[in-house]
Each structure stands twice: as structure tokens, then as C-alpha cells.
Amino acid sequence: MRRSKVLLDFIKLSVGEKIAFFRNVIILMTNNLLFPKPDVTLEVLTPMVDKLENDYAASRSGSHAMVMVMRQAEQVADNAFRKLAMYVDRTADGDPAIILKSGFNISKQPEPANRDSFIVEAGENPTEIVLTRKAQPGAKSYVWQYRSGALPGTDQSWVFAGFSTQTRFVVKGLESGSKYWFRVAAITINGTGPWSEPVMKMVL
């Protein structure tokens, strides 16, 4: 298996998305024994993100000067979280489970050919996620589950989202700025089939 690495994909997020992403990383790494001595301390990062959020709110007025101030705060935060990502990458040493516990995303492993049979997308409304899977011959219905945080290791950690006779299901009432994992199983006359591979999505 190819070694996993920390992605710097947060650089491409919008400012609002970055703020949610940064706060999630801070929450997950606070008092996390896996990351005892980050290169940039969380005490430094928190006021940095607070300033970015305040400057972002002020820039919504359309003022060119405030937009420039916000962009400067964004660059400072980007650079700090790049350093933090490098620390997590060095500490995790290729272990995807450790990387995910930091809140950063990981490089993708080669995916099974049927990966597209289960798709997780943002819904039309905030805090909604739309789940879609390919129809399974003989399936009478489908059961959908989710869980927040890091990828779980036991079935007991999953939350029941609902049943449907359709291959599309909307999960509502999720927490903004949180990372969720989703999975689905088909129900046939022989009972509940195997679960799909979990797919992660951050709720914006």
C-alpha cells in the first residue's frame, strides 16, 4: 500500500471554508497525545483564525481596503497551517489513521473500480448531505449510516440515518464545520448486504 501523505488542499478552499477547516483541525489536535509538540502551537493558531474570521466578516462590506486586510490574514493563516500540516505529515510517518485524527486530509490510495457506486455530495441546503448509490439488482431497500470525526473501527460507532426504497437519500441536521463518514448497504430477501466503503465529507 502506498504511504499516505497530508494534503495541502485547504489552500484552494474559499475563506469561509478555510475558517471552518482550520477550526476543525484545532479542535481535533487540542490535547491530542498523537501531536504533543506541533511546530506552530494551537495557542498561536486560534487567535490567527479569529482574526481571519473577523477580517472576513468586515470584508463583506465590499471595502477594497478591508478585502486587502483579509487577504493578508488569509496568507498568514495559510502559511501557519502549511507548517502544521508538515508537522503532522512528519509525525504520522505515512499512517492514514493518524493523519485523519489531526483533521487534515490524506492523499488518496488507489480506489476500487466500483468506488463511484457510492457518491457523497453537499446538499442544496446547509448542513445537508446527499447520498447516492447505484441500484443493486434484487434490492428492496437501502439502509444509510453516518458518523462524525475520524474513521471508526467498530459498527457500534455508526449512527442510523434512515431507510429508503430509492438509491438517493438526504441526511439533514448535520453540524456545520464537522467531518462525517457515510456508508450504505442494500437489503434483499436474504437480509442486509455488506456495507459500502466509508466516504468522508466535511459539512460546510
Spatial CB neighbours of 201, under 8 Å, sequence gap ≥ 6: 120, 121, 122, 129, 179, 180, 182
Q: Closest by alpha carbon to 201, among 155, 156, 170?
A: 170
Whether 18 and 75 have beta carbons less than 8 Å apart is answered as no
Spell out the domain ranges in the chain: 9-100, 115-202
Residuewise pLDDT in 10s, the chain (204 residues):
467 899 999 999 999 999 999 999 999 999 999 999 999 999 999 999 999 999 999 998 888 999 999 999 999 999 999 999 999 999 999 998 899 899 999 886 544 444 458 999 998 888 899 999 999 998 999 999 999 887 756 666 889 999 999 999 999 999 988 899 999 999 988 788 899 989 999 887
Enter the CATH code of domain 115-202. Answer: 2.60.40.10
Whether 131 and 182 have beta carbons less than 8 Å apart is answered as yes
**Calpha distance 188→136 (Å, rounded):** 9
**Calpha distance 108→111 (Å, rounded):** 8
**Calpha distance 45→47 (Å, rounded):** 6
Predicted local distance difference test score (pLDDT) of residue 72: 97
3-state secondary structure of 66: helix
Predicted local distance difference test score (pLDDT) of residue 109: 55
